[in-house]
A and B are shown apart, each in its own frame.
Chain A
């Protein structure tokens, strides 16, 4: 079945540092890929998505590129802010088995950004 593996946290950075959170996936077919973010005390929010190979999703300074050859969707940001402190989840939808609605999530990465 489908699966998502993302780097273990927690990740602690200083403000303005460069961020990478690695995400790789296993799925047959052509899944859509997502990054969700969960700020403290809030629900999951979609951060960005990509629906086909070589697509780049971007939002709020975050970027991720759908790499089919390496089955990866790494999240990057050039300069993090304290307000980026949250848990980040990589997810896919529409891989094997024709499930075009169910999201399969990674375990989440806690990011803490210090001033």
Chain B
């Protein structure tokens, strides 16, 4: 069946612009997670959704970062006023419950 998909696969933007990253989880998975993979920091947790609610936003690095999930499905991670340090691969994962997390291929964000 279809796995987790993310779009775009690559995004190049200029410093100060806003970007939106999209995640389509596996159908029926109630839990959704965003992580960030960067050279300096490794893989970091950003936010966790259960349904449309986000009980844990503790990993969001600043108030420029926000995320939402609608219909218990698609999620969007928005970064406002991007900075060069936001350059990273943003990974989305989903799981049917608190269980194995299935990862998408990621969105590579480059901020010039």
Q: A45 vs B101: C-alpha distance in the bound complex, in angstroms?
A: 9
Size of the chain A interface, CB-CB below 8 angstroms:
19
Q: A89 vs B44: C-alpha distance in the bound complex, in angstroms?
A: 12
Main SS at interface, chain B: strand
Select the stretch in A20-28, A61-69, A74-82, A95-103 that faces chain B.
A95-103
Size of the chain B interface, CB-CB below 8 angstroms:
23
Question: A45's contact among B31, B35, B103, by CB below 8 Å, is which?
Answer: B103
Instruction: Report if A99-B56 is in contact (Cβ < 8 Å); known contacts: A44-B91, A106-B42, A108-B42.
Output: yes
Contact A43 B103 (CB under 8 A): yes
Contact A101 B42 (CB under 8 A): no
Instruction: Report if A43-B105 is in contact (Cβ < 8 Å); known contacts: A102-B45, A105-B43, A108-B42.
Output: yes
Residues of B within 8 A of A42 (CB): 105
Instruction: Report if A102-B91 is in contact (Cβ < 8 Å); known contacts: A43-B105, A44-B103, A108-B43.
Output: no
Chain B residues proximal to chain A, CB less than 8 Å: 3-4, 31, 33, 35, 42-45, 48, 56, 59, 91, 93, 95, 98, 100-106
